[in-house]
Structure 1
Amino acid sequence: MNSWKLYVSVILFASAISFAAEKPNNFCGYAPEYEELYYPVIDQKIVGDASLYPFLNCPWSTFCEFPETLTATQENLEDWRKFFGKNLSEEVLYQLIYSETSDWYQKLEDNNSNVVNGIMANKINKNLQKPFAKYMLLAKQCEGISSNKNGGNGWYQGEKSDDYDQKPELLELAMKNYKAETNSFLKNRYAYQIVRLAHYLQENEAALQYFDNFLKLDSEAPYIYYLALEQRSGAAYNLQKFQEASKGFLEVYSKVPSRRRSCALSLKYFDWSNPQLNDDFFTDNGYAEIQSFFKSYYYNGSISKEMQKLQEKNPNSPYLEVLAIREVDKLQNKIFANNYNKWYENFDTERALDFEPLQTLQEIAKNQLENKAVLRKDFWRIVLSASYLKNDDFKNAALSVSKVEKNSELYPQAKRLSFSIEILQLKTLDRKQIGWLFSKLKSDTQLNESRPLTAFFFNSISDLYKKDGNVIVSLLGSMDYSGENAQYSFERSEADLGNHWKLHYKNEFVADEVIQKIQNFINLPAKTDYEKLIVSKLKSNPQDYVNELKGTWYFQQNQLDEAISYFKKIENPSVFYGKNIRTELFSGAIREYFDTPFSEKSDKIHLKYKKFFGDDAPKIELEETYADNKLKLAQTFKKLEELAKNDPENAADYYYMLGNAWYNTSARGWFLNTLQYIGNNDRNSILGYDYDSDGQQKCTNSEFLKNATKYFKKATEAKGSKETKAKAIFMLAKTNYCYTTERNANYRYRIEVCGDHRDYFQILKNDYSDTAFEAEVIKDCSWYRVFLGM
């Protein structure tokens, strides 16, 4: 059970179900929190009544957080304080009610000297010791009881789960003790247990009668009365006496802060269109406002209609403010959407915006501002301003919020909304306006202390650069808004810019138009403070950053002279790569195992040319993620081509090594981080086939594989050993892969090669069956064995 145990048992008058709207599913089980999907520039907590915070808009939770109020334990102890008639400390009260054991209570009732003369017992008046102990013994036995109508879908909250039902015996004992008891406080406690037991036994009519006959409202100790009333309401619901049930729940909701959540949950079950729950009934009983609120809160009534009714009944109703701010929050969920992480764009974060409530909301806000009786007009100015944003009516939105005076408690919120309207009006990359907005945000604490507003500014500007094709600047200027950030400050948000996860995977930036965009940005004259901030996030000399990308782009196009030229311009290359190259990437392998170092599977042909590779040749143990020196690598590629021409007797080897280098740095190779910025564990993001699909899979013909094919073909045509040519033929098959997969009845795959893949296997079989290498292929390559029919 919960900390306050049986005294505040949850009402289970119907099968308990989950009330919360479920999070959408997403890949790998990940789902962001609702609050991460947008920037709540307008704080919902501007409503006037903090006790209603739980009912703000947070659709993926049953309720939003509950404000600090007296807990059920505290409320219960305050009642017990009256019983003991002494100024006992909360610690002593807690010990007497919650911490003592059944054995202690039994000994107290039996007048055991060790207990009766003890410190705790002496806190209790002698004439109250035995009656108190007798009640607590019953209470302890009732502690784990549960409703007989839990059903299979109910909550488990620590209730006793054995088959024997003690409730009939406990009810009989409670009745006996109630009749014998003379203390009015304890009689009310027994009466509560009687009503609760009858309710849980589904003796619903009896539960109502017990409450009406036994419970007395004690103005000095009312807590247990309202707990019993909540139980009575559950029993009334079971009897379909919906007026009695709803009235009871609403009364407890109004009187006992710690039971608000429970009663609000219970009220969800009601069909508010039922004739019993008509407006006149609630008006006559003083619950008209709460009825209108819950009716619309649980989507059982027209939000527009209920807001209008609330406005007519009480224009200062706190419930009207809550319904209004909920609609505003649904609107800002769309207007201030967070697209920092691309998968957020796939979430249907809320049902489609309903135009009718927004139109009604705008009319209500206007009426509220014209009504002299309305006290919190600035709240409605903010609501009215937000309502105009639905149709991009920025002029009226700005005008409305500008009327909030500086001395208003809502002025900081009004300033933030006004600033966000200025951001929304930015449709193009207006350097001057962006710079001005950034300076304004940076210099105004009332603006930049809002994390949602700060994120909205940075990510809105980021989106503009993204639309303009300036991907790098867009990412450099984006702010991560995921998760809670208790340590937020504007200075920290500035410092954290430039850490978008995509910036660590620069393979998408190796495109001429992307590189030109960042070059143009770096070359901007008279940069604004915003632009200076973005450039500073490159974490390197800005021109070095561009030259490294440009050199890589030329390298990928096999334009080695241009690549070498740009790499030589880099003033501080250690920021981007190491001093050496992994010469192992010039060797080939029949197959790779990603839990085994490449060096254990490669043919190590590069070691045959130690003199050519120099000091780098033995450096085969460099780690898998080592960043190869691109200048040295490009120069090595070029020298190998020259060697193939100058040393024709070994040209097959040189071309074979070049083919290996292109294959190994492709998406299928072991060294793809060399020219593509991502490691082996991230290759799926650039692979061009689907692991899980049956049917035919073919190579993607990337520039890497095209170059590999070119050099492997040259190796087969050039002078050199037959063993090397056999290797080149096999690598041509790997490079130009084509295969089909079929599952048999036992869900085992059968793979058959096709197209060029099959043709190169055929050449290997026909022309190179006498080579030692072909024998290695038979041993190590299962696909080749299938091809041979083995």
Structure 2
Amino acid sequence: MNYWKLYISVFFFASTIALAAEKPKVFCGYFPEYEEVYYPIIDQKIIGDASLYPFLNCPWSTFCESPGTLTASQENFEDWRKFFGNNLSEQVLQQFIYNETADWYQKLAENNANIINGIMAKKINKSLQKPFAKYMLLAKKCEGISSNNSGGGGWYQGEENDGYDEKPELLELALKNYKAETNAFLKNRYGYQIVRLAHYLQENEAALNYFDSFLKLDKETPYIYYLALEQKSGAAYNLKKLQESAKGFLEVYTKVPSRRRSCALSLRYLDWSNPQLNDEFFAEAGFAEIESFFKSYYFNGSISREMQKLQKNNPNSPYLEVLAIRQVDRLQNRLFKNQYDGYYGYSENKEDTNSKWLQEIAKSQIANLNVQRKDFWRIVLSASYLEVNDYKNAASSVAEISKNSEMYIQAKRLSFSIDVLNLKTVDRKEIGNLFSRLKADKQLYESRPLTAFFFNSISDLYKKDGNVIVSLLGSLNYYMESSEYDWEQLETNLGNNWKLHFKNELVDDEIITKLQNFIDLPAKSEYEKLVISKIKASPQDYANELRGTWFFQRNDLDQAISYFKKIENPNVFYEKNFRPELFSGAINEYFDTPFSQQSDKIHLKYKTLFAEDIQKNDRDENYADNKLKLAETFQKLEKLAKSDPQNAADYYYMLGNAWYNMSDAGWFLNTLQYLGNNERNHVLDYDSYNEGEQKSKNSSFDIYATNYFEKSRAANGSKETKAKATFMLAKTNYCFNVERNADYKYRVIVCRDHKEYFKSLRTNYSDTNFEAQVIRECSWYRNYLSE
């Protein structure tokens, strides 16, 4: 038997509250935990009362953790153990209370010989067997009931709703059994079921009367009394008797750990501004501190006002600390924002928080001789200074915390973070000093938030300075975990930023220059050595490869070749050869089909010009073409076009094909861009893409292709080749509109230069085999001819 079914006591609307604090959602279905969008340098658990941890600042969750240290089963067992009068084990109690069947209880009540002589029944005093069984039979029948105001959806408390309401009959039976029962413990149990049934039947006045008439607080077995009180409080709420409701929920909250969650949820629904719930009422009831806390916790009262009330009445109130640390956490959410969240790149918190009043409360607490935990308030004061960028006073506040204080480690970490915040530019000396402090002090680096804050803050300074690559190498993906860091783990995780896999944005003159300057730094600090070591290649090779690619993308072959030749280990970046078919052309490109199956294979006519052919099974879209050999081949074709003018049209045509095939529209997208064909839709703007997956800034290769195709048409060579060059010029200068006819059929109409090149193909090359092939294979050309 599930306890939550048998003894559930939260009133009907409380269980829905968990849905009210959901985290934001994003289109891709992922969102980080709240603790991952900032670095919680200040640990909220420095408050003095651990029982209040659930009420720390966790805005995307109902509670930070489940309130209460004991489970409902444990508290229930304690009462039943006293009823049985024997020191029964939890295993036996579990069997008696939760696991036995209704049939077993029925036979026990009927004195069935097989049951009463059994091992389990003998553990129960003979005089208690029948009364116990009689109560459990009722409890079994009540386990699936729900409130008549739950909406009838059949989900509440797990009941199976067939349209028949058996609660009136159960209430009648419970009242009958209560009157017949003489055992005080069992009478209280019946009383609970009676109050609960009346509450769920919406007989709220009766529920209150039943509680007052039938429930007695037994200090030895108080658990069921408070469960009934919670039910009574729900009924009082329904009757708008807010004082009675609030008082009951607060009493259960303070007395029964396992019911704190449900009571805290129920308290959320109170209208704390209602005149019934005035300060005088809570003070007389002995709940003044909890009133101020929940008014602030549920944002129904002025946080500063309630904190000032708490401070006046009890400056050592644990609730005052909770409200203070919640404000501090809101501050640090802005102060220590996670700039590199691992998924969405740089982010910035625009929230403005005014905590002048928090600063005044903290100062007053520190000055108050009666306050016991002054160092806690020094942490709070320091955080309030940080909000207004007063780093000097922030540092002074934590500096007053001695090494013997329980707050010392927290103070040390906050002090270190203040020094990081003080950094506004790339100060090599200061960065090196901070790095040395972090590495030398386990109490600092074992804190994940602090370590990530340091590295990503320095990373951000390099980014602002334009040194993008060093910024990425020095960044640390931050995910909130309970385990502590060790230094070896930290060094492994550093520089694993996903953007480093998308190098297109790094092919930039300024970015490469910044990297080169960093590589050339004399007498590098330990921090600088660690960061540069995160390049998964020789740093100089890495820079030379980027620089060579940058020149190649601009068709500056001499410079490109010079940098590629400087690379000592080229196998880190590309293969031994390149795919020679990229020099061939095709009327259509189908990207799910090998290019060699659809091209004109003109490269085979000039086999001796190319490097040794690659293996057939390597000829795919992911092959990393050797950029040095490719650039040298480009240069060779340029020279041949001049030294062998009879075939110049072919040479220029092949160069044009190569540039077109390496462009955004071509089959060999990955040759000069750090992308694969699966990113083709991104670079052609067919769909959205993440930052870092965009096309290269220098990828307008169709300009070079157009130039070479025009040279091919003007040079000496075969008419077939010139026809192909003309068609390829239409592709590099494409322009089209889509028209819909009366039958709602669509057709593509080419325009401007695209149309002019089609016209030239038809006018000048209609007698070629190639033009006939285009008519067969290209629907756009057929549409043009039918105009």
TM-score range, shorter chain: over 0.9
The superposition leaves residues 653-694 of structure 1 with CA deviations (integer Å, 9 ceiling, x where unpaired) of 2222212221222222222222111212234554456689xx
Deviations 1:382-427, CA, capped at 9 Å, x for gaps: 0000000111000000001100110011100000000000000001
Contact 2:649 2:713 survives alignment (8 Å): yes
**What's 1:248 paired with?**
248
Provide the residue aligned with 2:35 in structure 1: 35
- Give 1:726's match in structure 2, choosing from 723, 727, 734: 723
| Pairing partner for 1:586 from 583, 586, 605 | 583
Mapped contact 1:14–1:238 kept (Cα < 8 A): no
Matched residue, 2:377 = 380
Give me the whole-angstrom Cα distance separating, in 1, the residues matched to 2:741 and 2:363. Answer: 70
Structure 2: distance between partners of 1:518 and 1:172: 83
Distance (Å, rounded) in 1 between the aligned partners of 2:674 and 2:29: 27
Report the equivalent of 2:735: 738
| Residue 645 of structure 1 pairs with residue 629 of structure 2 | no
Q: Secondary structure of 2:161's match?
A: coil
Distance 1:144 1:498, change over 3 A: same
Which amino acid is the alignment partner of residue 386 of structure 1?
A
What's the offset of the Cα at 1:648?
2.6
Matches within 5 A, 1:598-613: 598-613=595-610
Matches within 5 A, 1:355-374: 355=354, 358-374=355-371
Matched to 1:247, the amino acid is K
Asked if structure 2 preserves the Cα contact closer than 8 Å seen for 1:659 and 1:710, the reply is: yes
Give the Cα separation in 1 of the matches to 2:82 and 2:217. 14
Tell me: CA distance 1:725–1:201, structure 2 relative to 1, closer, same or farther (3 Å): farther
Q: Which moved more, 1:716-725 or 1:773-782?
A: 773-782
Aligned to 2:502: 505
CA contact 1:586–1:605 (8 Å) conserved in 2 = yes
CA distance in 1, matches of 2:100, 2:712: 88
Describe the superposition over 1:761-783 as per-residue Cα deviations: whole angstroms up to 9, x where unpaired.
Answer: 34334444444444444444444
Per the TM alignment, residue 34 of structure 1 is displaced from its structure 2 partner at its CA by: 1.3
* Letter of the 2:48 counterpart: G
Q: In structure 1, give the amino acid aligned to 2:528.
A: E
Distance verdict in 2 for CA 1:259–1:773, change over 3 Å: farther
1:696 maps to which residue? none
Q: Is the deviation greater in 406-415 or in 618-627?
A: 618-627
Q: 1:728 to 1:363 in 2, by over 3 A?
A: same
Deviation at 1:244, TM superposition (A): 0.7
Unaligned runs of 5+ in 2: 690-695
Aligned partners of 1:13 and 1:235 also within 8 Å: no
Instruction: Report the RMSD for the aligned CA atoms in angstroms.
Output: 2.6
Show the 5 A alignment for 1:205-244: 205-244=205-244
Q: Secondary structure of 1:30's partner?
A: coil
Asked whether the equivalents of residues 607 and 617 of structure 1 are also in contact (C-alpha less than 8 Å), the reply is no
Structure 2 partner of 1:98: 98
How has the CA–CA distance of structure 1 residues 718 and 316 changed in structure 2, closer, same or farther, with 3 Å as cutoff?
same
- Structure 1 residues 747 and 204: alpha-carbon distance in aligned structure 2, compared to 1, 3 A threshold: farther
**Equivalent residue for 2:693?**
none
Distance 1:95 1:444, change over 3 A: same
**Where does residue 695 of structure 1 map in the other structure?**
none
For 1:683-725, what per-residue CA distance to the aligned partner results, in whole angstroms no more than 9, with x for missing partners?
4554456689xxxxxx999431211221222222223333333
Aligned to 1:495: 492
Q: Higher mean Cα deviation, 285-294 or 634-643?
A: 634-643
Distance, in Å, in 2 between the alignment partners of 1:316 and 1:700 is 61
Q: Which moved more, 1:778-787 or 1:387-396?
A: 778-787
Contact in 1 for aligned 2:637/2:651 (Cα 8 Å): yes
Shift of 1:302: 0.7
Aligned mate of 1:537, from 534, 552, 560: 534
Q: Quote the Cα distance in structure 2 between the aligned partners of 1:227 and 1:406.
A: 46
Q: Which aligned pairs between 1:454-465 and structure 2 lie closer than 5 A? A: 454-465=451-462
Residue-by-residue CA offset, 1:713-763 (whole Å, 9 max, x unaligned): 222222333333333233223323334468999999765443333333343
Alpha-carbon distance between aligned partners in 1 of 2:219 and 2:62, rounded to the nearest angstrom: 32
State the shift of 1:74 in Å: 1.0
Task: Say whether the 8 Å CA contact 1:438–1:530 is kept in structure 2.
Answer: yes
**TM score, norm. by length of structure 1:** 0.94
Other-structure match for 1:755 = 752
> Residue 629 in 1 paired to residue 626 in 2?
yes
Q: Indicate the larger mover: 754-763 or 80-89.
A: 754-763
Q: 2:67, 2:257 within 8 Å by CA — same for their partners in 1? A: no
Counterpart pick for 1:452 among 425, 433, 449: 449
Identify the residue that residue 289 of structure 1 maps to in structure 2: 289
Query: Contact between 1:15 and 1:151, CA under 8 Å: does it hold in 2?
Result: no
Tell me which residue corresponds to 1:271.
271
Check the 8 A contact 1:599/1:620 in 2, yes or no. Answer: no
Aligned 1:2-401 pairs, distance under 5 A: 4-13=4-13, 16-66=16-66, 69-151=69-151, 156-341=156-341, 344=344, 352-355=351-354, 358-401=355-398
* Matches of 2:367 and 2:575, distance apart in 1: 71
Superposed CA offset, 1:589-610 (max 9, x none): 3333333333333333222322
Q: For 2:16, what is the secondary structure of its paired residue?
A: coil
Conserved? CA contact 1:250–1:263, under 8 Å: yes
> For this pair of structures, how many residues does the alignment match?
781
Q: Can you list the C-alpha shifts for 1:69-113, whole angstroms capped at 9, x where unaligned? A: 111111111111111111111111111111112222222222222
Distance 2:486 2:232 in 1: 51
- Deviation of the 1:252 alpha carbon: 0.8
Judging changes above 3 Å, is the alpha-carbon distance between structure 1 residues 304 and 651 closer, same or farther for their aligned structure 2 residues?
A: same
- 8 Å CA contact 2:505, 2:697 repeated in 1: no
- How many angstroms apart in 1 are the aligned matches of 2:746 and 2:197? 62
- Check 1:660–1:152 CA distance in 2 against 1; reply closer, same or farther (3 A cut): farther
Report the Cα distance in structure 1 between the residues aligned to 2:741 and 2:4, rounded to whole angstroms. Answer: 60
**Range with bigger deviation, 236-245 or 663-672:** 663-672
Give, in whole Å, the separation in 2 of the partners of 1:338 and 1:661.
44
CA–CA distance in structure 1, aligned partners of residues 258 and 614 of structure 2: 74
Does the 8 Å contact 2:382/2:393 carry over to 1? Answer: yes
TM-superposition CA deviations, 1:251-304 (whole Å, max 9, x none): 111111111111111111111111111010001001111111111111111111
Shift of 1:652: 2.4
Residue 658, structure 1, aligned to residue 655, structure 2: yes
Cα pair distance change 1:742/1:353, threshold 3 Å: farther
Partner of residue 426, structure 1: 423
Identity %: 72
Q: Would the alpha carbon gap of residues 664 and 323 (structure 1) be closer, same or farther in structure 2, given more than 3 Å must change? A: same
Per-residue deviation, 1:312: 0.7
Q: Secondary structure at the match of 1:760?
A: helix
Normalising by structure 2, what TM-score?
A: 0.94
After superposition, the Cα gap between the structure-2 partners of 1:772 and 1:180, relative to the gap in structure 1 and judged at 3 Å, is farther
The amino acid that maps onto 2:715 is A
SS in structure 2 at match of 1:131: helix
The amino acid of 1:353's aligned partner reads D
SS in 1 for 2:360: helix
Q: Distance in 1 between matches of 2:688 and 2:761?
A: 27
* Greater alpha carbon shift after TM alignment, 288-297 vs 616-625: 616-625
Hey, what does 2:705 align to over in structure 1? 708
Contact 1:369–1:381, Cα closer than 8 Å, also in 2: yes
Shift of the alpha carbon at 1:169? 1.5
Question: What residue is the counterpart of 2:511 in the other structure?
Answer: 514
Q: Which amino acid aligns with 1:398?
A: A
What amino acid sits opposite 2:351 in the alignment?
A
Moved more, 119-128 or 71-80: 119-128
